[in-house]
Chains A and B, each alone.
Chain A
Amino acid sequence: MFAISIMNGLVMGVIYALAALGVSLVVGIMNVVNFAHGELYILAGYFSYLFASALGVNFVLAMVMAVGLVFVLGLLIEYLLIRPTYGNDMYSLILTFILSIVLQNAYLLIFGPYPNKPPLWVSGATDVFGLFLYGNQRLAALAAGAAVIAVIFVIIKKTWFGRIIRAASQDREMAELNGVNTTRLNMLSFGLGCALAAAAGVILAPVFPVTPGAGVPVALTAFVVVVLGGMGSLWGCVVGGLTLGLVENLGAAFISSGYKNVFGFVILILVLLVRPAGLFGRAKV
């Protein structure tokens, strides 16, 4: 029970970290929280289901197409809804919240309330250290999630584009003075944030089928992870995501499974009480 909860916690933690990275990136650069993050996660799940199950596309290609489409949609959302609100953070909160409700109801209308599931990548189960049998699909999800996070870290820490992102999230005006086109950077990073939600969605959809409302708890968890890790901090997302995944699953196993999502809220309140800037956050001046 203990070992398998740890394993579940790791798998969920990696996905939480991935979803939170998308939120954190956008907060760091644009100071905008995308409340439709969870709905984009779900949308990618629906896309990969449509392409792979209904159209018979190869599942890897279907996932890439799903993430690509959500990325383009993210660019559009930034251009149409977020860009006109610069300088007024409140409106971006309201607009993305309305967008999340619109998307939820649109999914309900199009796909119905039933869970939809893209095909598994692998079947069977593996014996983990002789302790328990664990589904291969979940192990593959763990590996895929870790790989995407590694790619994001390389992009942000090693490439020129990553340097621009780090510069803009540290000091936006200074980056602008050095010739960074922050308008285009905003659009790209918002799209990238959405694509990260989509990546988490396509990786987890074969394990947890998508329903119209399933994005809300995922987005909330991602927000808690971002506050726990510190807004705008990438390492904070990884550490925070794994912490939350482990706490939730151990709590569900040993305290109460009905209250799985409540543990995250308890952590959120504790962080706000004890260390409001988060684990890796810069204290506000």
Chain B
Amino acid sequence: MMTGKKLVLASALILAGMCALPLGVGIYPQHVLITSLFYVMMASSWNLLAGYTGQVSFGHAAMAGIGAYTSGILAAKAGVNPWVGVAAGTVLASLLGLGLGTLCLKMGGIYLSLTTLAFSQILHIIIVNEYAVTRGTMGLQVPGLMDEYSKLAYYYIMLSAAVLILAILYGMIHSNLGLNFRAVQNDETAARSVGVRVLHVRVLAFTVASAMAGFAGGLYGHYLLLITPEIPSLDLQFYVLAMTVIGGMGSFIGPVVGAFALNILAEKIRDYGEYHVLVFGVIALVVARFAPNGLLGLWRRFRPAKQQ
């Protein structure tokens, strides 16, 4: 555990490195970096659920879809400023998270998993069917965040957004609330007996994570300029899940590492064909089965002991 000065120094170094990363590389690597940052936000916020409070949502991609489509439809059909649209999408996703969470979580975690899975399928059906509003599988063209399109500017926007999300998550996890999260995950009954309001804690985590997914999805949609039902799809949901599981569930850095590693690896595998989902599936299955704390957990276990 790094503390104080060391942590600040390390974060500053990484941030400086991230700022310099897209300079002098081509448009394609910049695109991969931008999508990686989107996945960093998605995987880290999903990790707040699965890794810290022990609830598995299969509707995280759907919440990103809510953010993207809310903002996209507002901007494309009503001419609303994209930034206002992103805020609206974030609010809507958090409200849906609050509603679904309240409805399911009093019945236990399995209900949340079932309902979020159903929710993501239904959202998909609605988007495909309501062609007039959403343009179905053709995709909805939306305006960008800035008048002039620049990958570099989008990179810095996504980087700031990711840093913001990570900072909020870090603050939550290392506060009293974070202790409550852990308590609820480890032993619900024990947590309740020491006065943790289990239901409140769970619903709060689900609402916050949904809002973050909505925010990330909204920004991502305005970057892609074309929103398709690919965003709220089970494939994207699986992608986020695999990044978290392979990187390391329940650790702060794990999903960040997982998001970059898998997104870059996916681009490499694409050279040979559309096998990346299958490959990630098999890797994720092996990791979840044999190394439930992911690659980060393996590294922690096998790194040479520190010499004090």
Contact = CB atoms under 8 A, between A and B. Distances in A.
B129 interface: yes
Interface in B270-288: 275, 277-278, 281-282, 284-285, 288
Interface string A255-285: 0001101101100110011001100000010
A4 interface: no
Size band of the interface chain B makes with A: 35 or more
Secondary structure at the A interface, as helix, strand, loop or mixed, is helix
B152 interface: no
Interface stretch (B78-86, B234-242, B297-305): B234-242
B107 A276 contact: yes
Contacts, number: 107
B132 to A, nearest CB: 13
B110 A33 contact: yes
A80 B58 CA distance: 23
Contacts of A33: 110, 113-114
A231 to B, nearest CB: 8
A168 interface: no
Nearest to B282: A102
Contact of A264 (B50, B118, B129, B241): B118
A34 to B, nearest CB: 11
Q: How large is the interface on A (under 10, 10 to 19, 20 to 34, 35 or more residues)?
A: 35 or more
Contact of B238 (A81, A93, A95, A98): A98
B104 interface: yes
B289 interface: yes
A259 B118 contact: no
Nearest to A231: B110
A253 interface: no
Interface in B114-172: 114-115, 117-119, 121-122, 125-126, 129
B22 interface: no
9 A-B pairs with least C-beta separation? A102-B281, A105-B278, A258-B129, A265-B122, A101-B238, A93-B56, A223-B114, A272-B103, A276-B107
Given A99-B281, A224-B114, A262-B126, 6 more contacts: A90-B54, A97-B238, A216-B234, A258-B129, A261-B125, A268-B118
Interface of B: 50, 54-56, 58, 103-104, 106-111, 113-115, 117-119, 121-122, 125-126, 129, 234-235, 238, 241-242, 245, 275, 277-278, 281-282, 284-285, 288-289, 292
